[in-house]
Structure 1
């Protein structure tokens, strides 16, 4: 959890620098009624693009599991999730109820929501159902270990599928990397323990993260 909290602190510090710079800029008043600065010409608006590097739009979402998401403006839909910080978006998604429960157990909801930008590999309910019962029980009983496993699914930078594929790897908050593979709609994420997850719905936009729903829980190296 300290990894995510460091991101929140750095994001707040950057925002403060911007605000202080704006406040310290000298004002320039016109010297006379005729000394009025020209009004800048506003260029015609081009195609709508994501404002934040690594962010995505609903049109870029892909994968066979996207069809199972709620539609319209219902909770958990693309329209709803894109307006919410990532932990709040996860809370509304019916495919991520187990992940939401574990985020709460690890006390990560606040730090995740406050982080400036993230990439999140989000195991679905089916992914957690693959874990042996004793392994999941052990994680639930150990919040520190649970937080480490969850942070292994989170990167401190925001990236789209295209950017992840170009990089080939993603460095996670828990330490270590995951490997990105596949082409087109068949995107994969491989962990340090040799396991591979398939992306079932990728490029999902939320307020502060790009989310990839995966079908297998990633396991950091022991």
Structure 2
């Protein structure tokens, strides 16, 4: 399945309440009734309209929305290789902590290649980045959440500055897609 070209425009009118993965700035009134406004320094780089914009992403399920964000191409490739596209796109009210390409680049190339070649390990890591419920900014100050992998993620912070597991910084949070909330992070999280 090539999610880069998959668009569900017919469902756009029904998808007005959802998540992420491009980082941009919309006027707060554009998000009225759709939950929290995206926050964080990385949000300024999101296109204001068109492909990859917050509005575009809100119309798509999470894996498809992520495919329109060039900063998430490594994550999208990993999700495709692990066979998780349909799982993520069909889930309801989930939260994804989405590592950027720069986050994956922090992993030594030989180690990353090894993980990408091992579907079981990759699936474990990717599902550790997803929570089976909505987690928005209001939940991040002092949170603990069970992941789809079965482990636990912790969050802490205030204002627009939040960390996940004391290692990853949320660079753009509360990005809505049609079925998920996305928090874009700068470090890949590793399950225990």
TM-score scaled by length of structure 2: 0.81
Which of 66, 70, 74 is the matching residue for 1:90?
A: 66
Which of 143, 149, 166 is the matching residue for 1:174?
A: 149
Q: Which digits, 9 at most, give the CA deviation of each residue in 1:109-160, with x for residues without a partner?
A: 0110001121000000110010111110111110111011000000011121
Distance 2:106 2:46 in 1: 21
Aligned-residue CA RMSD in angstroms?
A: 1.5
**1:62: which partner in 2?**
39
Relative contact order (alpha carbons < 8 A, sep ≥ 6): 1 or 2 greater? Answer: 2
1:122 matches 2:98: yes
Distance 1:196 1:154 in 2: 16
Q: Which digits, 9 at most, give the CA deviation of each residue in 1:157-203, with x for residues without a partner?
A: 1121112335x11110101111101111111101xxxx610000000
* Runs of at least 5 residues in structure 1 that lack an aligned partner in the other structure: 1-47, 51-55
Distance 1:165 1:135 in 2: 32
Distance 2:52 2:70 in 1: 7
1:49 matches 2:33: yes
TM-score scaled by length of structure 1: 0.70
Q: Any conservation in 1 of the 2:141–2:156 contact (CA below 8 Å)? A: yes
How many pairs does the alignment contain? 162
1:110 matches 2:93: no
**1:184: which partner in 2?**
159
Distance 1:210 1:143 in 2: 25
Which of 164, 168, 186 is the matching residue for 1:215?
A: 186
Distance 2:74 2:86 in 1: 17
